[in-house]
């Protein structure tokens, strides 16, 4: 198997890869994440000044696009360094409630607002993954892009519980303002789908896709 490059600084994604015994190198993508819009019948790329007939992309489209941006940026840097025989993993996770995407909160008040909307309800967690394998200096890269969705149901949270949880600081670097593997586990009623997907990376699917890419070499 090629050397695996994780294009993310997320400690949770590192922990998941380590958990399954995968050896990897961390080279985080440095570009700012942007959530584009999609023109009806067109391509992703509208930057917020969209006209009639244009729509926001689906959560699954957003995470796939952002994961591809991250993986592509790191791929370019590695190729400039004349490196070969590696596979880049790019990933991005968002929470969606009623089709509205929630990223990471930008402030304490935004975290409180997100949790207030999520508590007592069912929502979806999407993680997009892009795998790009470079199997030789003169070989074209092999790319696989996919996403996983997990449904999560939360118990009701009181205002005091929401404020106390936000005060821990745990929500501030997490999509939807909560960590299922942290203190917010006390408020998770049930999940349907891949638990690791909610943590930040569906490592089972990632491993299987990497095996498949190896067979295509």
pLDDT tens readout for residues 45-66: 444 455 555 778 899 999 999 9
d(Cα 202, Cα 217) in Å, to the nearest integer?
23
Q: What is the pLDDT of residues 171-194, one digit of tens each?
A: 999 999 999 999 999 999 999 999
Task: Provide the 3-class DSSP secondary structure of residue 165.
Answer: helix
CB atoms within 10 A of CB 27: 18
Q: What is the mean pLDDT of residues 4-27?
A: 96
Q: Token match 């929630």: residue?
A: 102
d(Cα 56, Cα 62) in Å, to the nearest integer?
9
d(Cα 197, Cα 205) in Å, to the nearest integer?
10
- Residue 7 pLDDT more than 80? yes
Are residues 5 and 27 in contact, defined by beta-carbon separation less than 8 angstroms?
Answer: yes
Q: What is the pLDDT of residues 117-136, one digit of tens each?
A: 999 999 999 999 999 999 88
Are residues 188 and 154 in contact, defined by beta-carbon separation less than 8 angstroms?
Answer: yes
For residue 74, give the DSSP letter.
Answer: H
| 207 Ramachandran zone, left/alpha/beta (phi>0; psi -120 to 50) | alpha
* Domains along the sequence of the chain with CATH: 3-215 (3.90.950.10)
Residue 92 known to be catalytic: yes
pLDDT of 47 reads 40
Confidence of residue 40 (pLDDT cuts 50, 70, 90): very low
Confidence of residue 39 (pLDDT cuts 50, 70, 90): very low
pLDDT of 42 reads 40
The angle, 0 to 180 degrees and rounded to 10, between the axes of the packed helices 11-19 and 203-215 is 60
Catalytic residue among 52, 92, 167, 194: 92
Which spans in the chain are helix H? 11-19, 59-80, 108-118, 159-167, 195-199, 203-215
Comparing 11-20, 30-39, 140-149, 172-181, the range with the smallest average pLDDT is: 30-39
- 139: tokens are 């070989």
Mean residue pLDDT across the chain? 90
Say how far residue 183 (Cα) sits from the centre of its chain.
20
Confidence of residue 215 (pLDDT cuts 50, 70, 90): low
Q: What is the mean pLDDT of residues 77-94?
A: 94
């Amino acid at each position: 198997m090629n050397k695996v490059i994780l294009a993310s600084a997320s400690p949770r994604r590192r922990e998941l890869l380590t958990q399954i015994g995968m050896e990897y190198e961390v080279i985080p993508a440095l570009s700012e994440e942007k959530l584009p819009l999609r023109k009806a019948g067109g391509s992703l790329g509208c930057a917020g000044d969209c006209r009639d007939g244009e729509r926001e992309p689906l959560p699954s489209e957003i995470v796939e696009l952002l994961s591809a941006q991250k993986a592509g940026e790191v791929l370019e840097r590695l190729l400039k360094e004349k490196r070969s025989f590696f596979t880049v993993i790019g990933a991005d996770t968002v929470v969606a409630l009623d089709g509205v995407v929630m990223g990471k909160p930008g402030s304490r008040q935004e975290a409180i607002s997100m949790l207030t909307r999520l508590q007592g309800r069912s929502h979806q967690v999407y993680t997009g993954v892009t795998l790009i394998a470079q199997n030789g200096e003169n070989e074209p890269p092999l790319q696989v892009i996919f996403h996983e969705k997990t449904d999560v149901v939360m118990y009701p949270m009181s205002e005091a519980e929401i404020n106390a949880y936000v005060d821990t600081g745990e929500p501030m670097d997490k999509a939807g303002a909560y960590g299922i593997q942290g203190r917010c586990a006390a408020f998770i009623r049930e999940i349907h789908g891949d638990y690791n997907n909610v943590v930040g990376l569906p490592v089972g699917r990632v491993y299987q896709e990497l095996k498949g890419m190896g067979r295509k070499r």
